[in-house]
Structure 1
Amino acid sequence: MCVICLDADPVHVVHDHQAGKVRGVPCFGCNAALGQFKDRPDVLRRAAEYLEGIVWKPTLEAPGVYQLPS
């Protein structure tokens, strides 16, 4: 089972490019996604927030006053 999506069959042994240590065995799709995000956790977090709708939600500052994300 893929260590990321917990669904597909694992097919790739993935390693940390800087440390050279094995991270785990994800499926083809999850391995490709990590590559597209260039192994950057900060970008992956923003992508997850975007998918969850958190990034673009306005914040209620006062009754009837909303702050849009910058």
Structure 2
Amino acid sequence: MDHRRAAGRVRGVLCFNCNSDTGKLGHAPDPLRCAVAYLEGNAWKPILVTPGDYLLPS
């Protein structure tokens, strides 16, 4: 049972692995999107913050 503790409500029923993984990713969509992009083999490109200073996606 996947639930939001803060809201005290059930979101749905997931298998153990999916429920565990969403918890590890912080229940946020952006880390999940990054994980999917990685699994699909999409190249991650560094983000230019200032000239010569890059932020690497995590």
Task: Please tell me the TM-score bracket, short chain as reference.
Answer: 0.5 to 0.7
Q: Hey, which bits of structure 1, 4+ residues long, moved more than 3 A?
A: none
Asked if 1:20 is matched to 2:43, the reply is no
Instruction: Give 1:38 shift.
Output: 1.5
Q: Which has the higher helix share?
A: 2
The TM-score normalised by the length of structure 1 is 0.56
TM-score (normalizing by structure 2): 0.66
Structure 1 unaligned spans of 5+: 1-12, 58-68
Greater C-alpha Rg: 1
RMSD (Å) for aligned C-alpha atoms = 1.5
Which of structures 1 and 2 has the larger relative contact order (alpha carbons within 8 angstroms, sep 6+)? 1
Aligned length: 46
Identity in percent? 46
Higher strand share: 2
